[in-house]
């Protein structure tokens, strides 16, 4: 069993008397999360003082930062023979999820999603970054009471972008086309695949996706009637879907949205949950959301590169000694995030994914 040396640091002071640690990071979640089951070895009062609410916390695995954030919650338990505390929290971006967006005008013009996110995150001390190219949005307005995350996520969704929380507590905006990093080795049945399940689901796929939009800043028939269609020949029967694009659209944006909607649905239709020993790939890197990993299991019907959508790292044993150290990987076909398919794509013969371009509708 691979044992990871996990250091839990609160307010700069190291704390080692924990019984179990869990860290979760997801490509679709703006904040990373953790939970510590702590043995009250130094007494309940002293232990509670160390794990006070809102205390800053760093969690490192073998010297690699896995999470930087704050304590959200402390739950105590007492029994006839022992007592313990359960400590949970999230990364710095939790404040963006919980708190309302405050802006003097509530409106942004000709700004990219990154520029908007940076302006709203600055008061919270959260840094924002981007992987990929962004276009300026004509106009973006905050709904009254809308949280920073809800507002920025709404803008990202319309642009086909993903929001995720980084290990250092920052917020990262990702264009899926740049997700090309790949883990060393793989997840292979009979080698390092402990348990797993796969899901091939076509219920969210459509034979054609039509996106209707209009340009709010221009006039004329061409601006008022914008429509694009993306076809999925793999569905094999008539299943239409109409999507209304409520943004200030043009032909390029509705084409991209139609194709993106089709590709993401097809990619989401191939997923798996697997458990592997340890927290690292064969090259020593922590399992990371957004990385591809070769996945091969005849039983699960998989033989292709899969994208890690989420990672849950767990380890038990006081101070990390002698406990189970595992990683649960939530995997999905890379096209679910507009990433390139990668090698393989031999999963489930007959599960065809259409890669044709979206078409304008006259």
Residue 47 has a pLDDT of: 67
Q: Residue 18: is its pLDDT beyond 80?
A: no
pLDDT higher at 56 or 245: 56
Question: CA 341, 345, 350, 351 torsion: positive or negative?
Answer: negative
The CA-based angle 288-300-30, given to 5 degrees, is 25
| pLDDT (average), residues 254-264 | 89
Question: Phi/psi at 147 (nearest 5 deg)?
Answer: -75, 160
| pLDDT (average), residues 42-48 | 64
Q: Is the domain 96-177 a CATH 3.55.50.10 member?
A: yes
Q: Is the domain 180-201+269-351 a CATH 3.40.50.11540 member?
A: no
Q: Residue 132: is its pLDDT beyond 50?
A: yes
- Domain coordinates in residue numbering, the chain: 6-89, 96-177, 180-201+269-351, 208-267
Residue 166 has a pLDDT of: 97
Strand order across the beta sheet in which 161-165 lies: 128-131, 171-175, 161-165
4 pLDDT tier (thresholds 50, 70, 90): confident
Per-residue pLDDT tens over the stretch 159-195: 889 999 999 999 999 998 899 999 999 999 999 999 9
Per-residue pLDDT tens over the stretch 82-109: 777 899 999 999 999 999 999 999 999 9
CATH domain 208-267 topology:
Phage tail proteins - 2 layer sandwich fold (3.30.1920)
Per-residue pLDDT tens over the stretch 302-325: 999 999 999 999 998 755 554 589
Residue 350 has a pLDDT of: 45
Residue 81 has a pLDDT of: 79
- Classify residue 285 as exposed, middle or buried by CB count within 10 Å of its CB (0-12, 13-18, 19+): middle
Helices assigned H by DSSP within the chain: 44-50, 94-98, 113-121, 148-159, 221-224, 251-268
Q: Is the domain 6-89 a CATH 1.20.1630.10 member?
A: no
Q: Residue 111: is its pLDDT beyond 90?
A: yes
246 pLDDT tier (thresholds 50, 70, 90): confident
Q: How far apart are the first and last CA of the chain?
A: 62
136 pLDDT tier (thresholds 50, 70, 90): very high
Q: Residue 41: is its pLDDT beyond 70?
A: no
Mean pLDDT of the chain: 88
Q: Do domains 6-89 and 180-201+269-351 have the same CATH topology?
A: yes
């Amino acid at each position: 069993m691979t044992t990871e040396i996990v250091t839990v640091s609160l307010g700069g002071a190291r704390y080692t008397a924990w019984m179990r640690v869990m860290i979760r990071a997801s490509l679709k979640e703006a904040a990373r999360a953790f939970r510590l089951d702590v043995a009250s070895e130094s007494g309940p009062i002293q232990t509670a003082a160390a794990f006070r609410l809102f205390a800053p916390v760093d969690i490192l695995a073998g010297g690699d930062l896995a999470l930087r954030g704050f304590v959200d919650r402390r739950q105590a338990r007492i029994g006839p023979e022992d007592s313990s505390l359960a400590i949970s929290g999230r990364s710095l971006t939790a404040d963006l999820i919980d708190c309302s967006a405050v802006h003097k005008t509530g409106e942004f013009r000709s700004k990219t999603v990154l520029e908007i996110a940076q302006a709203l995150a600055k008061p919270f001390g959260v840094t924002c970054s981007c992987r990929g190219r962004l276009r300026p949005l004509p106009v973006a307005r905050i709904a009254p009471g809308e949280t920073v995350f809800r507002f920025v996520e709404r803008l990202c969704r319309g642009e086909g972008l993903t929001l995720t929380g980084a290990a250092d507590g920052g917020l990262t905006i990702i264009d899926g086309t740049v997700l090309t990093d790949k883990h060393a080795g793989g997840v292979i049945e009979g080698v390092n695949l402990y348990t797993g399940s796969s899901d091939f689901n076509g219920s969210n796929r459509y034979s054609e996706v039509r996106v209707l939009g209009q340009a709010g800043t221009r006039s004329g028939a061409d601006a008022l009637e914008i429509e694009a269609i993306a076809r999925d020949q793999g569905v094999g029967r008539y299943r239409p879907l109409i999507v209304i694009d409520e943004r200030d659209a043009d032909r390029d944006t509705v084409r991209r949205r139609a194709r993106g909607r089709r590709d993401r649905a097809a990619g989401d239709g191939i997923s798996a949950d697997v458990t592997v020993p340890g927290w690292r790939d064969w090259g020593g890197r922590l399992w990371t959301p957004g990385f591809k990993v070769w996945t091969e299991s005849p039983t699960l019907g998989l033989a292709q590169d899969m994208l890690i959508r989420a990672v849950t790292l767990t380890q038990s044993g006081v101070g990390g000694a002698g406990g189970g150290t595992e990683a649960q990987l939530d995997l999905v076909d890379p096209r679910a995030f507009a990433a390139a398919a990668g090698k393989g794509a031999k999963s489930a013969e007959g599960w065809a994914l259409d890669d044709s371009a979206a078409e304008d509708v006259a």
